[in-house]
């Protein structure tokens, strides 16, 4: 299991990275943490001509509070974000969710933007971005950076609105809103596995914003007014996701979790089945 | 830094405190480079897709899967492997605790586990069993059932804690 | 409890029976282990990569290697033609015209089967050439389900046999028919045991060399034994056994039986080395391992009991259908017969009927896997015992107690021939109940149930066989066939002890350990016999068949170390000691009985004479003239040991299939999460009687390791094959090995009833929990689920989804207005996807129909199509890059338009292959005119995907196929309208963007 040959380019500025990307287009792959890409390269499921490693681009390594968002640069690792002291106050959903992403050894290198760029439908960070209504910032050689909301960014399995000559330079998570509560719950086969069903909810005064990962081909977010019949709303959502059987779980089971786990999560009968036991806060 | 696919690049890094260098192609996995070019065969390869954890090493102080990194990516960086843990020929406390608690059988996954524990214990001084298990969940061991490993890590944490308290 | 082991010789007992840190550990903890891939290779060593079949069943039409040979760094390619020229098929354990070669020669019969070997200057280069070997396959129908494979109309794997059932044997002991007639109750249960494997973290490693001068092969491999397989390899290589030198490395990264299955690669890499005239090394990767190394045998069992109202069982019937995969690879069908003599478990049941059938299916061949036959037998037997209790409304433990082999009956001859060597099963149960806290567990169940939680308790008793009788495998043959072939029996162990001129002691054992600590235990045994410090002894566990003492039973399997190998070490040490006794007695003119060994000295009991061990032992080298006449000088002894009790099967088909039988009593409490169905093991108690424990710490290590693997088998692990035979568990994110968080700590209890048949009274202990724990957990889950659940539906692994489904999901109906999901994966998921969708196109049906027939439009429709070349009537060859996100591959494809009924319908089909697998799809397209002169295009499609992408990308396949098919029609629509159509929701979403890339 060894990668096919490729050129390797390690720029130190975003400008260099983007120039190379524009020049090479679809022949290039950006590598940041490589925690998804390297496995795919090793299996030769991807054979790019050039790998552009942005992990040394220091100007893309930041976590900043800005314009109502927490902005995370493309070279920032998941571990760095988890260690950001104010995270639980500023973006509590992210703080709850980060420990569920893989294992600390993969979070040490895996980047926040990389996971979002990969758009795995079972991954936590895309779900978080979509649920909160965050944004992805895409830059290319000329023109203003393009900002795409999470809803629009995820377009299908591993498929996003990023164009081949665009670099994701930043993702922005909206800061927590006063009076809102944020909850996350996930069922996976094992600790650290991709979700069979992952649910994230932003509980506002008048509506829920419920995100579902692991079921459809992308994270799906629904706004559910707080005064509707929740069971009906969840059942409608569950059936609309196109759940499928796979080797680990049935479609019926997935719909069941969307309904039942969703109801408990939203009405705060919280089942911290695993979080309470095993997820370290540090 | 641009390396063409057919070029061999001389990667220079600090391996276990010593500057080392050797040639690698862009596609050479870090684990292969450490083992076969630098002779640090203590690190093992178990899956090459980042799940089993056997190949875990420390890069700039962080436990990292060496199958998910390229050799060229450690240019100029600091890498530590299992070979760094014994000092002056003597095993460190973590290694001794693993022996004492029968925390290894075939020993193949052990190198990676030790490196994760090494980072973790440097960061978390008073871990709970749940935290230790969470930390170890990024490693697969097929021999031990994990009990001895968990006990060894907790024992080291306790002992270091006691040492700190006794120290003036 | 009989606590004292028989003392075979007066000796100090400083080490044996005590916790002893392992002598292996320091090297392993310092990164100084020497595993197979760590060893230096000869200059000029080349590296291999194996071309494997993407199909489960296909005839090989052609293997073209010319293009691969052109790739820089490639030095040769080994194919089936070479293998046919230089080698022979492996011998098979049943009398059937079946051929298994180390590379496929005519057909491939499972996904991942080796077809050719690329030999190149390094592994990267070898893998570069994999895609350049062109193999043309004629794809055949598959047999995947073992029961369906027995049907007359099933696709047959080995045509010369004429059926997939390659062995069918029936055994009758006592008078089961009468017992069933007379019994107050009967109960039958059908269960299916899945495929899983113990998947060591180190995969296979082989270094092959060929010496044309001697005509011999020298192969280093992390093989584990049994060395009976050496004969299989030598015969396949067509050399005398002394021309196949097989060597094993000092350390092995786990095996659990699996590394027995490396043997075809030993032959393959020997031949590869011969092909290129250079040493060839191959390191298996994880995908190769999961899809092609080895697996436990999956089994379908129908088990039936005749029993009285108090639960006493008078007779059992087993009908076992064992699925050994595509080839019956040596030593199979051993899985079926390993437990044969003791198939009645820990119970005193006199009447027994057994039918065993071996069936071939298009799956990877099975082989040794820790527990070997035990998990399958106990899953049926102990589930049945639980059902008997439920049926009679009795406590399951009472049913177990009533049927146990009585204590006074040992050694007890089971109806099928096992001689249970020792035990006190009733006392074991009582100890387990008391010390494990069963009463408290029952109270936990009570209070949990009062709170409406789903809590259950499961029980299992098992006998754990160890030290296999090499003759049990011949049970697959009829008595007549066995008579003709000559008897096979025994289990020869060897150990060699040498004392060098400086008096230091070296021990060699042919047990080929993979982490069990054999070096430590052997040193403990020798240290005690010779009275020398453990640290002074060096134990070598490398095996070199060209130099070391070995026999067919050598190696590490059937938990034979403690009973057999440590016993042989003991015997070898006694031989050394007897010689030193004689030397000392002569020198000091005392009686041999007065000589003592201890503290590194040899001395007389009265303390008058004393000398250091080194000095006296060294004298055998330095001063042989001073020795008694009986002494020949030098000091090296090899002990061979085989137990008399392991006789060949008799004409009444009785077989003492193992020498020792340990006892296990397990119980556990589990809770099922009412939301997720997740099974949480609240408490697990496991009591073991493995005879005398040589090193209790290592015994507990074996128990914990087996337990963890069993938790995996019970709750997480299974090899999944899709209906088309594609393999769906190709990564460790698909094949789910439990982590620290999933494995609880069991409570381990011990008792010691020494075996009367082994030199040290020890029995094996390494496999017990692999056998007992899966069914114990299943019984607890059954108890928690209650009577409403069909007993046969409790199948492993008990995943959250499966358990929650068994608990019952009352699903509210699909709301009106929510579209039925139109893409449905085939049942159980998998590579085959069929679905329907539709799209509206702003053109008339005639226009649409005509444009699809136009090559330019067709090319534009197919995403990533670089070129489209007409090869026949509406038939094309296409060069297509198919991609979803970062995953991308270039396909050489055939595209065809058939069933043309203008302008109503046509069929668009395509099939292609790429380095990451094969894909085929077909869509029936119907055109109907709708308002405004537009066309509604309805399509039903079916897609199948095979090879690597199916093995590693299962989670994504369905969505990815749907996306790619959808793209074809949205591109058609775009082309015809110059914009996008208002088709499905999916297409509207797609329409929002232009070009896209999934990853960054």
Structural domain boundaries in chain A: 7-56, 58-174, 183-269
Is the domain of B70 the same as that of B13? Answer: yes
Of C824, C886, C990, the CB nearest to A46: C886
Sheet with strand C865-872: strands edge to edge:
C823-825, C833-841, C934-946, C917-930, C905-914, C887-901, C875-884, C865-872
CATH topology of domain A183-269: Enolase-like; domain 1 (3.30.390)
Q: Is A105 within 8 Å of B137 when comparing Cβ atoms?
A: no
Domain A7-56 has CATH 3.40.605.10: no
| Per-residue pLDDT tens digits for C871-895 | 999 999 999 998 888 888 889 999 9
Which chain A residues contact residue B26 at CB under 8 A? Answer: 5-8, 51
Helices (H), C295-364: 334-338
What number of H helices and E strands is found in chain A?
12, 14
Sheet with strand A181-188: strands edge to edge:
A181-188, A195-203, A207-213, A220-225
Give the pLDDT confidence score for residue A278 in this predicted structure. 37
Q: Give, for C951, the enclosing helix (H) or strand (E).
A: helix C948-952
Give the pLDDT confidence score for residue C698 in this predicted structure. 97
Q: Is the pLDDT of residue C511 over 60?
A: yes
What mean pLDDT is predicted for residues C351-356? 98
Q: Is the ipTM of this complex over 0.90?
A: yes
Give the pLDDT confidence score for residue B168 in this predicted structure. 62
Strands C679-689 and C747-751: parallel
Of C818, C993, C998, the CB nearest to A239: C818
What mean pLDDT is predicted for residues B141-152? 98
Give the pLDDT confidence score for residue C490 in this predicted structure. 92
Q: Is B124 within 8 Å of A108 when comparing Cβ atoms?
A: no
Q: Span C41-152+200-292: which CATH code?
A: 3.90.1170.50
Q: Which of residues 76-115 of A touch C (CB under 8 A)?
A: 113-114
Q: Is B134 within 8 Å of A280 when comparing Cβ atoms?
A: yes
pLDDT band at C945 (very low <50, low <70, confident <90, very high): confident
Segments of C10-128 assigned E as strands: 46-52, 58-64, 74-79, 107-108, 114-120
What residues are paired with C493 via a beta bridge? C641
pLDDT band at C954 (very low <50, low <70, confident <90, very high): confident
Strands C216-221 and C244-247: parallel
What residues are paired with C686 via a beta bridge? C666, C748
Closest CA to A113 of A85, A133, A134: A134
B touches which chains (3+ CB pairs under 8 A)? Answer: A, C
Q: CB-hemisphere CA count at 13 Å for C761? A: 21
Is the preceding omega at residue C689 within 30 degrees of 0, hence cis? Answer: no
Give the pLDDT confidence score for residue C982 in this predicted structure. 45
| Per-residue pLDDT tens digits for A206-264 | 999 999 999 999 999 999 999 999 999 999 999 999 998 999 999 999 999 999 999 99
Residue B47 lies in a domain: yes
- Among the candidates B61, B84, B107, a domain finishes at B84
Domains C41-152+200-292 and C825-991 in one fold = no
Of C824, C916, C997, the CB nearest to A164: C997
Segments of C690-791 assigned E as strands: 747-751
Closest CA to C189 of C742, C792, C591: C792
What mean pLDDT is predicted for residues C500-516? 96
Q: Is the pLDDT of residue A280 over 50?
A: no
Is the domain of B66 the same as that of B105? Answer: no
Q: Is the pLDDT of residue A276 over 50?
A: no
Q: Give, for C319, the enclosing helix (H) or strand (E).
A: strand C313-323
Q: Is A266 on the interface with C (CB under 8 A)?
A: no
Residue B152 lies in a domain: yes
CA distance C595 to C38: 46
Q: Give, for C529, the enclosing helix (H) or strand (E).
A: helix C518-530
What number of H helices and E strands is found in chain B?
5, 6
Of the two residues C971 and C543, the one the predictor is more confident about is C543
Q: Is A280 within 8 Å of B135 when comparing Cβ atoms?
A: yes
Of the two residues C460 and C941, the one the predictor is more confident about is C460
Q: Which residue of A has its CA nearest to B119?
A: A105
Q: Cβ(C693)–Cβ(C481) under 8 Å?
A: no
Per-chain mean pLDDT for chain C: 93
Q: Cβ(C224)–Cβ(C512) under 8 Å?
A: yes
CA distance C927 to C937: 5
| Per-residue pLDDT tens digits for C846-865 | 999 999 999 999 999 999 99
Which chain A residues contact residue C812 at CB under 8 A? Answer: 231, 235, 259
User: Could you tell me the CA-to-CA distances from B74 to A13, B26, C931 in Å, in that order?
Assistant: 18, 11, 64
Q: Is B102 within 8 Å of C697 when comparing Cβ atoms?
A: yes
Q: What is the per-residue burial (b if ≥16 Cβ within 10 Å, else e) of C67-89?
A: ebeebebbbbbbbbebbeebbeb
A touches which chains (3+ CB pairs under 8 A)? Answer: B, C
CA distance A253 to A245: 9
Q: What domain range includes position B120? A: 93-166
Is the domain of B110 the same as that of B77? Answer: no
Q: At B131, which CATH number?
A: 1.10.150.120
pLDDT band at C980 (very low <50, low <70, confident <90, very high): very low
For residue C484, with 0-12 CB atoms within 10 Å meaning exposed, 13-18 middle and 19 or more buried, which class applies? Answer: exposed
**Given 3-state DSSP classes, what are the helix, strand and coil percentages for chain B, each rounded to the nearest 5?**
40, 20, 40
Q: What percent of chain C has pLDDT over 90?
A: 86
Q: Is C284 on the interface with B (CB under 8 A)?
A: no
Residue B103 lies in a domain: yes
Per-chain mean pLDDT for chain B: 97
Residue B2 lies in a domain: no
Q: Is B42 within 8 Å of C31 when comparing Cβ atoms?
A: yes
Give the pLDDT confidence score for residue C821 in this predicted structure. 55
Which chain C residues contact residue A239 at CB under 8 A? Answer: 814-815, 818
Q: Is C916 within 8 Å of A156 when comparing Cβ atoms?
A: no
Is the domain of B18 the same as that of B62? Answer: yes
Alpha-carbon dihedral C12, C14, C18, C19, rounded to 10 degrees: -160
Of A4, A5, A278, the CB nearest to B134: A278
Q: Is the pLDDT of residue C625 over 60?
A: yes
Query: Which one is the CATH code of A58-174: 3.30.465.10, 3.30.70.2740, 3.60.21.10, 1.20.810.10?
Result: 3.30.465.10
CATH topology of domain C25-29+492-641: Aldehyde Oxidoreductase; domain 4 (3.30.365)
Which chain C residues contact residue A157 at CB under 8 A? Answer: 884-885, 956, 959-960, 963, 998
Give the pLDDT confidence score for residue C932 in this predicted structure. 85
Q: Span C388-462+668-812: which CATH code?
A: 3.30.365.10
Q: At B78, which CATH number?
A: 3.10.20.30
CA distance C965 to C942: 10
Structural domain boundaries in chain C: 25-29+492-641, 41-152+200-292, 388-462+668-812, 825-991
What residues are paired with C919 via a beta bridge? C912, C945
pLDDT band at B114 (very low <50, low <70, confident <90, very high): very high
Task: Say which residue the tokens 């009593």 belong to.
Answer: C665
What mean pLDDT is predicted for residues C762-781? 98
| Per-residue pLDDT tens digits for C92-135 | 999 999 999 999 999 999 999 999 999 999 999 999 999 999 99
CA distance C128 to A2: 9
Sign of CA dihedral A77, A79, A82, A85: negative
Q: Is B107 within 8 Å of C253 when comparing Cβ atoms?
A: yes
The length of chain C, given as a count of residues: 1000
User: With helix as H, strand as E and coil as C, how does C821-833 read?
Assistant: CCEEECCCCCCCE
- Among the candidates B60, B84, B108, a domain finishes at B84
CA distance C206 to C280: 8
For residue C44, with 0-12 CB atoms within 10 Å meaning exposed, 13-18 middle and 19 or more buried, which class applies? Answer: exposed
CATH topology of domain C825-991: Alpha-D-Glucose-1,6-Bisphosphate; Chain A, domain 4 (3.30.530)
- Among the candidates B84, B117, B146, a domain finishes at B84
Q: Is C959 within 8 Å of A122 when comparing Cβ atoms?
A: no
Q: Cβ(C738)–Cβ(C702) under 8 Å?
A: no
Phi, psi of B17, rounded to the nearest 5 degrees: 90, -5
CA distance C699 to C691: 11
Give the pLDDT confidence score for residue A42 in this predicted structure. 97
pLDDT band at C817 (very low <50, low <70, confident <90, very high): confident
Of C821, C887, C956, the CB nearest to A46: C887
| Per-residue pLDDT tens digits for A12-31 | 999 999 999 999 998 999 99
Domain count, chain B: 2
Which chain A residues contact residue C994 at CB under 8 A? Answer: 163
CA distance C585 to C577: 12
Residue A25 three-state SS: helix
DSSP code string of C871-933: EETTEEEEEEEEEETTEEEEEEEEEEEEEEETTTEEEEEEEEEETTEEEEEEEEEEEEEEGGG
């Amino acid at each position: 299991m060894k990668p096919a040959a490729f050129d390797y380019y390690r720029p130190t500025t975003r400008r260099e990275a983007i120039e190379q990307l524009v020049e090479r287009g679809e022949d290039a792959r950006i590598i940041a943490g490589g925690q998804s890409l390297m496995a795919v390269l090793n299996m030769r499921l991807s054979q790019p001509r050039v790998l552009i490693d942005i992990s040394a681009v220091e100007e893309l390594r930041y976590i900043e509070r800005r314009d109502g968002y927490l902005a995370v640069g493309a070279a920032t690792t998941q571990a760095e974000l988890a260690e950001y002291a104010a995270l639980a106050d500023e973006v509590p959903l992210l703080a709850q969710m980060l420990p569920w992403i893989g294992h600390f050894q993969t979070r040490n290198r895996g980047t926040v933007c990389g996971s979002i760029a990969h758009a795995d439908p079972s991954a936590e960070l895309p779900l978080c971005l979509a649920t909160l209504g965050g944004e992805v910032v895409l830059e290319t050689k000329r023109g203003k950076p393009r900002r795409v909301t999470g809803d629009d960014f995820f377009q299908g399995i591993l498929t996003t609105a990023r164009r081949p000559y665009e670099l994701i330079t930043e993702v922005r998570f909206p800061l927590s809103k006063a009076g809102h509560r944020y909850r996350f719950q996930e069922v996976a086969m094992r600790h650290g596995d991709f979700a069979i069903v992952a649910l994230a909810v932003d509980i506002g005064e008048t509506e829920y914003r419920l995100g579902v990962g692991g079921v459809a081909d992308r994270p799906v977010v629904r706004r559910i007014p707080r005064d509707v019949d929740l069971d009906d709303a969840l059942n409608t959502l569950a059936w609309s996701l196109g759940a499928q059987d796979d080797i680990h779980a049935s479609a019926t089971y997935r719909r069941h979790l969307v309904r039942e786990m969703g109801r408990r999560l939203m009405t705060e009968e919280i089942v911290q089945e695993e979080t309470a036991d095993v997820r370290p806060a540090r | 830094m641009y390396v063409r696919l057919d070029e061999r690049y001389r990667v220079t890094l600090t391996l276990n405190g010593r500057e080392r260098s050797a040639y690698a192609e862009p596609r050479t996995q870090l684990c292969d480079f450490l083992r076969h070019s630098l002779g640090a065969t203590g690190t093992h390869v178990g899956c090459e897709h980042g799940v089993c954890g056997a190949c875990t090493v420390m890069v700039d102080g962080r436990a990292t899967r060496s199958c998910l990194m390229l050799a060229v990516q450690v240019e100029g960086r600091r890498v530590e492997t299992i070979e760094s843990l014994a000092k002056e020929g003597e095993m460190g406390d973590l290694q001794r605790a693993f022996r004492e608690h029968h925390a290894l059988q075939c020993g193949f996954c052990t190198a990676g586990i030790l490196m994760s524990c090494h980072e973790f214990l440097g960061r978390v001084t008073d871990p709970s069993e749940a935290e230790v298990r969470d930390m170890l969940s990024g490693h697969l061991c097929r021999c031990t059932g994990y009990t001895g490993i968990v006990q060894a890590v907790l024992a080291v944490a306790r002992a270091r804690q006691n040492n700190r308290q006794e120290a003036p | 409890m009989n606590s004292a082991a028989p003392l075979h010789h007066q000796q100090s007992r400083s080490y044996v029976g005590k916790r002893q840190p392992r002598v292996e550990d320091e090297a392993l903890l310092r990164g100084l282990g020497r595993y197979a891939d760590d060893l230096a290779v000869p200059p000029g060593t080349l590296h291999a990569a194996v071309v494997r079949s993407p199909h489960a069943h296909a005839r090989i039409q052609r293997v073209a290697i010319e293009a691969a040979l052109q790739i820089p760094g490639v030095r040769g390619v080994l194919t089936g033609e070479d293998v046919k020229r230089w080698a022979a098929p492996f011998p098979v354990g049943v009398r059937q015209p079946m051929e298994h070669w180390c590379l496929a020669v005519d057909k491939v019969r499972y996904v991942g089967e080796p077809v050719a070997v690329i030999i190149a200057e390094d592994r990267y280069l070898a893998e570069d050439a994999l895609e350049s070997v062109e193999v043309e396959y004629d794809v055949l129908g598959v047999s995947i389900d073992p029961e369906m494979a027995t049907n007359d109309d099933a696709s047959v794997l080995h045509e010369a046999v004429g059926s997939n059932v390659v062995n069918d044997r029936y055994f009758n002991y006592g008078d089961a028919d009468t017992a069933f007639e007379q019994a107050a109750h009967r109960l039958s249960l059908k269960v299916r045991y899945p495929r899983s494997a113990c998947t060591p973290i180190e995969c296979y490693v082989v270094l092959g060399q060929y010496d044309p001068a001697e005509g011999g092969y020298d192969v280093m491999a992390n093989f584990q034994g049994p060395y009976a397989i050496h004969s299989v390899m030598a015969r396949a290589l067509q050399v005398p056994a002394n021309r196949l030198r097989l060597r094993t490395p000092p350390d092995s990264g786990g095996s659990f039986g699996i590394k027995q299955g490396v043997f075809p690669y030993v032959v393959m890499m020997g031949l590869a080395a011969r092909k290129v005239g250079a040493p060839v090394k191959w390191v298996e990767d994880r995908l190769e391992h999961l899809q092609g190394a080895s697996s436990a045998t999956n089994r379908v069992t129908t088990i039936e009991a005749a029993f009285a109202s108090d639960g006493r069982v008078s007779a059992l019937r087993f009908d076992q259908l064992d699925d050994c995969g595509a080839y019956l690879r040596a030593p199979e069908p051993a899985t079926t017969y390993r437990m044969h003599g003791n198939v009645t478990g820990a119970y005193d049941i006199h009447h027994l009927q057994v039918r065993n059938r071996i069936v071939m299916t298009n799956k990877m061949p099975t082989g040794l896997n820790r527990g070997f036959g035990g998990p399958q037998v106990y899953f049926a037997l102990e589930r049945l015992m639980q059902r008997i209790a439920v049926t009679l409304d009795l406590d399951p433990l009472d049913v177990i107690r009533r049927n146990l082999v009585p204590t006074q009956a040992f050694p007890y001859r089971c109806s099928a021939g096992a001689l249970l060597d020792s035990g006190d099963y009733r006392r074991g149960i009582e100890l387990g109940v008391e010390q494990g806290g069963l009463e408290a567990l029952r109270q936990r169940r009570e209070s949990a149930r009062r709170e409406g939680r789903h809590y259950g308790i499961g029980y299992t008793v098992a006998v754990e066989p160890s030290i296999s009788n090499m003759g049990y495998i011949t049970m697959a043959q009829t008595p007549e066939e066995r008579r003709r072939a000559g008897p096979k029996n025994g289990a020869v162990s060897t150990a060699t002890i040498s004392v060098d001129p400086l008096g230091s002691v070296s021990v060699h054992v042919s047990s080929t350990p993979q982490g069990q600590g054999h070096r430590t235990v052997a040193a403990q045994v020798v240290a005690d016999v010779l009275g020398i410090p453990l640290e002074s002894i060096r134990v070598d566990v490398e095996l070199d068949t060209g130099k070391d003492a070995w026999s067919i039973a050598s190696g590490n399997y059937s938990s034979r170390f403690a009973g057999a190998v440590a016993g042989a070490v003991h015997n070898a040490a006694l031989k050394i000691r007897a010689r030193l006794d004689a030397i000392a007695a002569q020198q000091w003119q005392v009686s041999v009985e007065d000589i003592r060994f201890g503290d590194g000295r040899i001395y007389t009991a009265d303390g008058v004479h004393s000398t250091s061990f080194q000095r006296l032992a060294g004298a055998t080298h330095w001063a042989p003239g001073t020795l008694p006449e009986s002494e020949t000088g030098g000091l090296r002894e090899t002990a061979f040991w085989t137990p008399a009790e392991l006789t060949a099967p008799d004409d009444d088909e009785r077989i003492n299939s193992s020498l020792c039988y340990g006892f296990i009593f397990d119980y556990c409490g589990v809770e099922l999460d009412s939301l997720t169905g997740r099974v949480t093991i609240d408490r697990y108690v496991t009591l073991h009687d493995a005879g005398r424990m040589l090193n209790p710490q290592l015994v507990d290590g074996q128990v914990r390791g087996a337990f963890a693997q069993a938790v995996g088998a019970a709750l997480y692990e299974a090899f999944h094959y899709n209906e088309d035979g594609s393999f769906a568990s190709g990564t460790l994110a698909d094949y789910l090995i439990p982590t620290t968080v999933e494995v609880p700590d069991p409570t381990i209890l011990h008792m010691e009833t020494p075996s009367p048949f082994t030199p040290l009274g020890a029995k094996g202990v390494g496999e017990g929990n692999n056998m007992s724990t899966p069914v114990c957990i299943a019984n607890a889950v059954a108890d928690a689920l209650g009577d409403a659940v069909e007993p046969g539906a409790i199948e492993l692994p008990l995943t959250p989804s499966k358990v929650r489904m068994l608990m019952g999901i009352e699903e509210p109906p699909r709301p009106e207005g929510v579209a039925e999901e139109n893409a449905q994966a085939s049942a159980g998921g998998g590579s085959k996807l069929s679905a329907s969708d539709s799209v509206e196109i702003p053109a008339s049906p005639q226009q649409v129909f005509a444009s699809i027939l136009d090559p330019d439009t067709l090319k534009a429709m197919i995403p990533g199509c670089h070129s489209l070349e007409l090869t026949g009537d509406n038939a094309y060859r296409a060069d297509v890059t198919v991609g979803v996100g970062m995953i991308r591959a270039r396909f050489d494809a055939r595209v065809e338009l058939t069933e043309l009924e203008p302008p109503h319908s046509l069929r668009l089909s395509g099939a292609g292959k790429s380095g990451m697998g094969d894909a085929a799809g077909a869509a029936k397209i119907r055109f109907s005119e709708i308002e405004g002169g537009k066309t509604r295009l309805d399509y039903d499609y079916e897609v199948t995907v095979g090879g690597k992408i199916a093995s590693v990308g299962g989670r994504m396949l369905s969505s990815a196929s749907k996306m790619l098919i959808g793209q074809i029609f949205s591109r058609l629509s775009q082309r015809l309208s110059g914009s996008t159509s208002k088709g499905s929701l999916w297409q509207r979403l797609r329409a929002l963007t232009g070009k896209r890339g999934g990853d960054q």
